[in-house]
Amino acid sequence: MSKTILITGASSGIGKATARHFHAMGWNVIATMRHPEREEELTSLENTLVTRLDVLDSASIDQAVASGIERFGWIDALLNNAGYGAYGPLEAFDMDSIRRQFDTNVIGLLAVTKAVLPHMRATRSGTIVNISSIGGKMTFPLGTLYHGTKFAVEGLSEALHYELEAIGVKMKIIEPGMIRTDFGGRSFDFRNDESMVEYQPTVKCLFAAFGSSVTQASAPEVVADAIYIAVTDGSNQLRYTAGEDARQLMANRKAQDDDRFIGGLKAQMDL
């Protein structure tokens, strides 16, 4: 009997790569996105339901979960992938933009999880996978909002695993490094105010560093493979790193104290 996964943010990048991977492995896929009418590839796949889900719209969350269960009968796994990165000087963001970053990456993730949990609790089974980042364990300049959300995802996921274990549900965290996705495009919200001249040297250094790191970026399929392993390995392992750059950075972060790691990062970025 085929198992079923619900994926948020499945229109591109990691979400779409994961939908393709699980489909290829014989799973039913509930591929959710804000604009399903624009999707062409996933709609052509058998045993795949493409439907609308906006993590900021609770009605769309409930409808997507209900539609998925109606179509396939159950949900065995949830991938909370939808999100974006807000970068730039904190002073350049208005409060509505700050709230949107946390509403999307944190509150929306919790809302989707809450919508799926009653079903998993009833079946006393399932796996929830939250996409974090190496940015949930370390920070880069001008990432106050993005890193704030990913540190939150790390904490809430680790705490959740205790209560979910009691109902037979596994909690998994995926920590990718730099990935070749649309994150640098429509999923990257950069704000700046050039009149704040004090911040501009840091802005310049950040873009130079991001540009040079693109060559080290992994394909989204690398993350999809890590997600599949996390869902199917049957272990209680909580965290999974995805990408060689992520493994190296995480090892360096664990081996160094704050002064050494942050100092090295500043030197590398010419800050």
Annotation marks residue 228 as catalytic? no
Q: Which of 16, 87, 132, 199 is catalytic?
A: 132
- Active site residue: 3, 16, 87, 146, which one? 146
Q: Which helix (H) or strand (E) holds 21?
A: helix 13-24
Measured CA distances, 120 to 14, 108, 131, 265 (Å): 24, 19, 19, 42
Catalytic residue from among 3, 16, 137, 150: 150
Extract the runs of DSSP E, i.e. beta strands, from 101-246.
127-131, 170-176, 188-190, 239-242
On whether the CB atoms of residues 175 and 242 are closer than 8 A, the answer is yes
Q: How far is it, in rounded angstroms, from Cα 87 to Cα 185? A: 12
Q: How far apart are CA 245 and CA 7, in angstroms?
A: 25
146 is catalytic: yes
Q: 2 an active-site residue?
A: no
Instruction: Choose among 42, 40, 54, 52: nearest CA to 17.
Output: 42
CB atoms within 10 A of CB 44: 9
Catalytic residues: 132, 146, 150
